[in-house]
Amino acid sequence: MTVIDIINKTKRGIQLTGEEIDFLVKGYTDGDIPDYQMSAWLMAVCINGLTEEETVALTLAMRDSGDVLDLSAINGITVDKHSTGGVGDKTSLIVGPAAAACGVAVPKMSGRGLGHTGGTIDKLESVSGYRTELDFAKFSEIVNKTGFSIIAQSGCLCPADKKMYSLRSVTGTVDSIPLICASIMSKKLALNADCIVLDVKCGSGAFMKTRDDAEKLGRLMEKVGRAAGKKCRAVVTDMDKPLGYAVGNELEVREAVELLQGRTRGELYDTCMELTANMLELAGKGSIEECRRAAEKAVGSGKALGILKETIRLHGGDSSVCDDVERLPKAKYSHVIYAPRDVEIAAVNAEEIGMAALLLGAGRQTRDDEIDYAAGIMLEFKVGDKISMDAPLMTLYSNVVSDFSEAALRAYNALSLRTLTGSALT
Ligand code: URA
């Protein structure tokens, strides 16, 4: 068996055997197969795809490239939730505590921001003192105490994905459904929870731009999860516009806490309740309607907020932010963008808002960039809102950028505004 034969087979659309896929993944992880040969194979996959059988084999080979966790020290049924990535997606901070409040264990490992999309670990690190690098014993202990913990993805899990993902991000081979599926599912299967809910984001701010592709990815991930013996459910949710109002790490923690305090509702709340209900139903906690009611009660009663607060405390973080969001770090500089005339918000390009936030310091432009946790954008509207001339559209925040012109232009251009005339503004 040679790597050149494997590349040629995929290039010609001939199905690989499990042994060939194992050979490729192991050889690349061990450093025996160079980046240029792996890049050629990844590009062949982008162009020709993989069969379901090949995708399952690739996912399992990637999972087995590192440790597979044994969660038996965690009490009760374990449920994991994963988002394929989006802008303003702070759902993990809400659904984790909400599901835990309803009696399931939520041990989560999350990633950092990637390109225009945010990462849960960066958001949590915006809470002063919160430690995301804990050993497995401490992680299990926290889950057993509160029902919920989030730590950073361990380097011992899926080294194959780590190497392949960095290579994909610089070789134009990210946007392939089987490669995304294998990348996400190998990490989920290595974490090894009993049930997995996959939040497949769809729209301008997501990797999957169309509903059709999002559904394809969701179905494929469900099949791979089930083939590995997991209860697995994909839920397609909207990412055509940012989720909620806040984009940026500290701002998103603030919005998540305010939602758990019962101070906000709307699309973010609905998405979180849908995801939590699916986590609970998959874990056998009742019908989807019963689970949704339980999730709403967990938030309405303040129990989910209490769990988030205690989890932050056990991670060494300043849990008083759950009582008073003003304790979160604030940016030195801010800039308000006002409506230039009476307008209706027709659409918002989520990816462009994410890029504007990145320019402000909320994300990394290179792997080694430091995050400005307080940087980001607070939107003042929802799509469909009518805004009068000179009313604020959004506020930009940063500690590192005092000249807002580039980010402000990018953020403003992300909006599609319909001019209103006469009495249209009511
Ligand atoms: N998230 C991942 O972990 N991998 C991908 O390929 C895309 C999104």
* Domains with residue ranges and CATH for the chain: 3-49 (1.20.970.10), 79-322 (3.40.1030.10), 330-419 (3.90.1170.30)
How far is ligand 1, taken at its centre, from the CA of residue 182, in Å?
8
Long-range contacts of 118-121 (CB under 8 A, 24+ apart): 118/86, 118/87, 118/88, 118/89, 118/90, 118/247, 118/248, 118/249, 118/252, 118/354, 118/362, 118/363, 120/90, 120/92, 120/93, 120/150, 121/150, 121/152, 121/153
| CB proximity list for 54: less than 8 A, separation 6 or greater | 15, 16, 21, 178
pLDDT value, residue 312: 98
pLDDT value, residue 117: 76
pLDDT value, residue 1: 87
> Which atom of ligand 1 lies at the shortest distance from residue 187's CA?
3
Q: Name the helix (H) or strand (E) containing 15.
A: none
| Number of C-beta neighbours around residue 414 at 10 A | 24
Is residue 337 within 8 Å of 391, Cβ to Cβ?
no
pLDDT value, residue 368: 75
pLDDT value, residue 422: 67
Helix axes 35-48, 177-191, angle to 10 degrees: 110
Distances (CA, A) of 100 to 144, 149, 308: 10, 10, 10
Catalytic (active-site) positions: 82, 161, 168, 183, 187
DSSP-derived secondary structure for 46-89:
HHH---HHHHHHHHHHHHTTS----GGGS-S-BEEEEE---SS-
Burial class (CB in 10 A: 0-12, 13-18, 19+), 8: middle
* Ligand 1 neighbourhood includes 113 CB (under 6 angstroms): no
The residue whose CA is least distant from atom 3 of ligand 1 is 184
Mutate to test the pocket of ligand 1, among 108, 174, 202, 239 (most ligand atoms within 8 A of CB): 174
The residue whose CA is least distant from atom 2 of ligand 1 is 184
- d(CA 340, CA 63) in angstroms, rounded, equals 52
Is residue 302 within 8 Å of 262, Cβ to Cβ?
yes
Q: Could you tell me what percentage of the chain is helix, strand and coil, using 3-state DSSP and rounding each to the nearest 5?
A: 45, 15, 35
* Ligand 1 neighbourhood includes 84 CB (under 6 angstroms): yes
* Ligand 1 neighbourhood includes 181 CB (under 6 angstroms): no
- d(CA 6, CA 225) in angstroms, rounded, equals 25
* Ligand 1 neighbourhood includes 183 CB (under 6 angstroms): yes
Per-residue pLDDT of the chain (426 residues; tens, 9 = 90+): 899 999 999 999 999 999 999 999 999 999 999 999 999 999 999 999 999 999 999 999 999 999 999 999 999 999 999 999 889 999 999 999 999 999 999 999 998 877 777 789 999 999 999 999 999 999 999 999 999 999 998 889 999 999 998 899 888 898 899 999 999 999 999 999 999 999 999 998 898 999 999 999 999 999 999 999 999 999 999 999 999 999 999 999 999 999 999 998 899 999 999 999 999 999 999 999 999 999 999 999 999 999 999 999 999 999 999 999 999 989 999 999 999 999 999 999 999 999 999 999 999 877 678 899 999 999 999 999 999 999 999 999 999 988 999 999 999 999 999 999 865 665
* Ligand 1 neighbourhood includes 176 CB (under 6 angstroms): no
The residue whose CA is least distant from atom 8 of ligand 1 is 84
pLDDT value, residue 307: 98
How far is ligand 1, taken at its centre, from the CA of residue 310, in Å?
30
* Ligand 1 neighbourhood includes 184 CB (under 6 angstroms): yes
- d(CA 45, CA 13) in angstroms, rounded, equals 9
Map tokens 């940063």 to a residue. 398
DSSP-derived secondary structure for 305-358:
HHHHHHHHHHTT--GGGGT-GGGS---SEEEEEE-SSSEEEEEE-HHHHHHHHH
Q: Which two tokens stand for residue 45?
A: 């996959």
| CB proximity list for 131: less than 8 A, separation 6 or greater | 315, 316, 317
Q: Which two tokens stand for residue 132?
A: 């995301």
How far is ligand 1, taken at its centre, from the CA of residue 358, in Å?
19
Burial class (CB in 10 A: 0-12, 13-18, 19+), 124: buried
Mutate to test the pocket of ligand 1, among 183, 188, 199 (most ligand atoms within 8 A of CB): 183
DSSP-derived secondary structure for 369-382:
PPP-TT-EEEE---
Q: How many CA atoms lie within 13 A of 316 on its CB side?
A: 10
pLDDT value, residue 116: 76
Strand partners, 108: 150
* Ligand 1 neighbourhood includes 85 CB (under 6 angstroms): yes
Residue 236: what residue type?
V
How far is ligand 1, taken at its centre, from the CA of residue 84, in Å?
6
* Ligand 1 neighbourhood includes 140 CB (under 6 angstroms): no
> Which atom of ligand 1 lies at the shortest distance from residue 179's CA?
6
At 287 the three-state DSSP class reads coil
pLDDT value, residue 367: 66
